[in-house]
Amino acid sequence: MNTFAIGDVVKLSSADVMMTINSEAANNNYVECIWFNAKGKPVRQDFHVDALEYVRSRVPNPKDVTQIL
């Protein structure tokens, strides 16, 4: 079973649409994902974690990144 964190970018094993993990669903084997459809409207749906592939971790908030001068 895969472990994902809120904010991770994932995709379905059978598709290339990138989605963001939004929350853990009531059943711990499922997570709620959010993505935007072709019309730019947000879509939310629960997926079993085994159906998802990890793409990358969440993009850090620029305010959290410190620069070394």
* pLDDT score at 44: 96
pLDDT (tens digit, 9 = 90+) per residue, 14-65? Answer: 888 999 999 987 777 899 999 999 999 999 999 999 999 999 876 565 555 5
Q: List strands edge to edge, sheet with 52-56.
A: 42-48, 30-36, 18-24, 9-12, 52-56
Return the residue matching tokens 């499922």: 30
* pLDDT score at 24: 81
pTM score, whole prediction: 0.74
- How is the chain split into domains, by residue range? 9-64
Question: Does position 68 have pLDDT exceeding 60, yes or no?
Answer: no
- CA torsion sign for 44, 51, 22, 15 is negative
- Mean residue pLDDT across the chain: 83
